[in-house]
Amino acid sequence: MNCEVCQLEELKVEHFEIREVLRCILHTIVFHRALGLLRPKDVDLELFEITYVQCGDVELEKKIDEKIDHFISWVEKHPNKKSQLCLSFYEVKSKQPSWFTNKTERLYWEQWYANLNVTQHPKHHSSKTHHTKVVVDPGESATEERSSRRAMVEASLREVLFQIIKFVNEKKDHLPPISEGVIYFPYETTIPSSSYSAFGMDMIKRMLHSGHPTMLS
Amino acid sequence: MEMDRESGKLEQIVSQFRSKILHVILDSRVPSLHRQQQESLSLSRVRKTDKWFNLVLGDRPPALENLNFSLRNLLDPMVIDIILIRHGSCSSSVDNLYAPSAAAAGPSTETVIERWVVQYDCPRVFATPSGADAAVFYKKIYKKCILLLRSLYSQMRLLPAYRICRQLSLLSQTYNFDLVYKVSSFSHPFSREEEDGMKEYSFTPVEALPGCLCVSVTYRATLSDFNLEPLVSLPPKIITDYVGSPTTDPMRSFPSSKTGAHATSFPSTGLRPPSSAPFQRPHSWSSGFHRGFPPTKTQSLAGSPPAYCTSRKPYDITSPPTDLYGNRIQNHRVSTLQQATAYDEYKLSPPFSTSASPSTPTYLSGANPLLTRHCSETAPVTIPLTGRSTRYLSSNSSDPNRHSLPPLSPRSSKHDASSQESPSGIRSYRKIEGLRAGESPSGLSNLYSAPKVVRDSKDDSGRFSGLLSSSGSPRIGFSRSSSRLSFQDDIDDCEFSCPFDVDDVDVSDSSSRNTESKRASEFTAQSNLVGKKSQDAAVGILVHMLRTAPPLRQDSSCYSTHSLKTEYDGGAGVASGFFLPRKTADALEELNSYREMKDLLLSKSATQAVRKEGKK
């Protein structure tokens, strides 16, 4: 069974928007992969005019919120960095136990990457600035800027949700069979912060800029 | 034999799939249904129909059954149009809103903002799998249907039409637009202008026999061009000629006020035609300003889910998928045959007609009664009191004496136990009287069985809830019956605070005479004692008398002011047995007499107090 990977479009969000955005994305993915009997629950985002669907399971909600808390704390420790949250679905397969391996292994059949670019809050003009320029009515422009930025984030988030729906529709054959009485496929969330891909790209960029002899062909 | 069984399974999957899709779409595009769905989803019971495709959606709209019937040929496409109706620009004055004619609202424009199409595509003929292959094949189809429904459910909430449905489903405001839907097996192609602003999305088809099941949507990417806005709220207006109880005689005339406005009592029963007097002002209890359907507590659409019944009945819905590969498939064709006989008698709102072929569009609305109000009568709506809704759950719905009000419509009265009319206010639900039929205890089993004669569904576009008739749907009426009975309860038992809004006296001549004599004698005794009580007590007594006073007008009996005047003479007043029709003048005179009595009592108490002080 192959593992299908979906890289969701990157979202530029502010720190206070992370929780809502991730809740929306993760719950939408899980809802589409929870094929057992469930009662859908519509949830309205507070920051955006978007309604997404949850599975209506309180336990699931708690788990996802914990993962999001973990992610937020990681983002706070690594500011100004593009961050990813990976949601993976797997199957548990038993295998021959040995001295160094467990009896079961996880076979991942689907992975979702939510890409967030967490931006800092824009600095507002203060009365103690040394600049002599007179800022004419900064309040309105800041508000307009904020609302336009908010609209952009909302549109982007909506596109991400459409992307999820499209992926769910197009890729169906790789799903494992539905077990009796099971609502959700087993899943895990990880933060591939120190992933090879991210680290490797940084290294390559530095080498290119520094003009390392080995990089020149 | 086995081939038939296999094809029956597939047909069942496809049929349920289409029903589920229709359910998902209607729940999120029909404002009244959306409201109910949100409420019913919170209930814990899961019914058999909910288990299809592992998606619990709550109560199915009653209209669904008839719509399924009309589109029972699975090979025909199912086209669901979501239509935005914009009311013409009109003055937002109060008069226009009161006007019964649609012309006063200005011309309306209709725009298809979404079109959902469910159809077989790429039809092909190939061998039906059998044996173990068949089981795998059907499981695969079923799983893909589950996935498609999940994504459809999410998609419904992301499209622009969802927002306006949400706005409309809130009863807090009225808008200059409305959403209606149309279900048919064909569709008129869009014009070029219409296509310009529309996008299309197709879900990945599900391979099934005899082709691929395709679900696609064409939708307007933005609705900002339509200038959708809430209507101006009504300015507050003091009702100077408040008439009190909804059960007051609607034909009663009142003295005209200086402004010329005349109160018009709306018959709670809806039996009497509107007064020939010009439409002036609905009473404060009338349902004139509700949009969609009135509050869900009183609503007799698919409300709370029926009691979960595990017994198997002849027309029971087939078990959910885990049982699908057993041999317990019910034959829906029998039920559909019965539906055929009932269906011809059923008339939906135009353009649908009884001679319709299955491809005839079904035009229905979850509309605001502002659209249709001019076509139907409104009725007063009683204000339900809390805490009473479950009081008479098991009750006496079959006891006609329980109802102090006549049935809402003559046709509905044809039902016996099955069409107990809701009391007073829920006039707009007379369409839904058919739903209340079927309070049978068989619960789930008859829920989607063939509806019997659908009767009370002739008029009123937009009341697709009226599609479901009769006794075929038992427990759908569960919450409706409770709310209906709670209204009955309210009328009978609750104590109104307003002194003039109780009209619970329905006495014969003799009983009213006794009442008068008792009251007169009471008054005499009280007048002697008042001197010893404080002024407050005197006022309290007076208020009590006013509250317990019979209505100003009674058909067969009334007060005579002579009986009251005898009190002033100090004699043991005895109410005369002479009864005259009462007029407003009489009422005013009586009021004056009460005032005089009050002054007399106060003066007496004052003089007695002075005497006591003098003695000291």
B369, B459 in Cβ contact below 8 A? no
Cβ-defined contact of A38 to B146 (cutoff 8 Å): no
Q: Closest Cα of chain A to B55: distance in Å?
A: 6
Confidence check: pLDDT of B413 > 50: no
At B324, phi and psi to the nearest 5?
-65, -30
Instruction: Say what the pLDDT of residue B22 is.
Output: 92
Cβ-defined contact of B147 to A37 (cutoff 8 Å): no
pTM summary value: 0.54
Closest CA to B290 of B190, B373, B394: B373
Residue B59 makes CB contacts below 8 A (sequence gap 6+) with: B36, B37, B40, B301, B302, B303, B304, B305, B476
B157 — contact with chain A (CB < 8 Å)? Answer: yes
B56 — contact with chain A (CB < 8 Å)? Answer: yes
ipTM of the complex: 0.82
Whether domain B2-88+107-226 has CATH 3.90.79.10: the reply is no
Q: Closest Cα of chain A to B26: distance in Å?
A: 15
Cβ-defined contact of B46 to A39 (cutoff 8 Å): yes
Tens of pLDDT along B469-487? 344 444 433 334 444 444 4
Lowest mean pLDDT among A82-86, A198-202, B174-178, B424-428: B424-428
Tens of pLDDT along B132-189? 777 788 888 999 999 999 999 999 999 999 988 988 887 677 778 888 999 988 888 8
Q: Six-digit token pair at A21?
A: 């955005």
Instruction: Say what the pLDDT of residue B11 is.
Output: 83
Q: Determine the residue of chain B that is closest to A155 in CA distance.
A: B158
pLDDT above 90 as % of chain A: 48
Q: Closest Cα of chain B to A161: distance in Å?
A: 8
> What integer best gives the mean pLDDT of chain B?
62
Q: Determine the residue of chain B that is closest to A157 in CA distance.
A: B158
Tens of pLDDT along A26-85? 999 999 999 999 999 999 999 999 999 999 889 999 999 999 999 999 988 888 778 999
Residue of B260 and A27 predicted with greater confidence: A27
Q: What angle do CA A73, A75, A80 make, to 5 degrees?
A: 155
Tens of pLDDT along B299-358? 443 444 333 333 444 434 444 444 433 344 344 444 444 444 443 433 333 333 344 444
pLDDT above 90 as % of chain B: 13
- B37: confidence class by pLDDT, cuts 50, 70, 90: confident
A45 — contact with chain B (CB < 8 Å)? Answer: no
Q: Which residues pair with B201 in a beta bridge?
A: B217
- A200: confidence class by pLDDT, cuts 50, 70, 90: low
Closest CA to A108 of A187, A195, A167: A187
Instruction: Say what the pLDDT of residue A127 is.
Output: 45
User: Which A-chain residues 18-37 have CB contacts (< 8 A) with chain B?
Assistant: 28, 31-32, 35-37
- B526: confidence class by pLDDT, cuts 50, 70, 90: low
Burial of A118 (0-12, 13-18, 19+ CB in 10 A): buried
B38, A56 in Cβ contact below 8 A? no
| Long-range contact set of residues A28-32: C-beta below 8 Å, sequence gap at least 24 | A28/A52, A28/A53, A28/A161, A28/A164, A28/B154, A29/A87, A29/A112, A29/A164, A30/A55, A30/A60, A30/A64, A30/A87, A30/A184, A30/A187, A31/A55, A31/B150, A31/B154, A32/A164, A32/A165, A32/A168, A32/B147, A32/B150, A32/B151, A32/B154
Helices and strands (DSSP H and E) totals, chain B:
16, 7
Q: What angle do CA B294, B298, B300 make, to 5 degrees?
A: 95
Going from the C-alpha of A135 to that of each of A126, A146, A182, B508, B604, the distances in angstroms are 10, 17, 61, 84, 80
pLDDT above 70 as % of chain B: 38
Of B50, B144, B153, the CB nearest to A53: B153
Instruction: Say what the pLDDT of residue B157 is.
Output: 94
Chain B residues within 8 A of A39 when measuring between CB atoms: 41, 46, 56
Cβ-defined contact of A170 to B204 (cutoff 8 Å): yes
Confidence check: pLDDT of B23 > 50: yes
Instruction: Say what the pLDDT of residue B156 is.
Output: 95
Chain A residues within 8 A of B150 when measuring between CB atoms: 31-32, 35, 168
Of B56, B146, B158, the CB nearest to A39: B56
In the chain, the amino acid numbered A136 is V
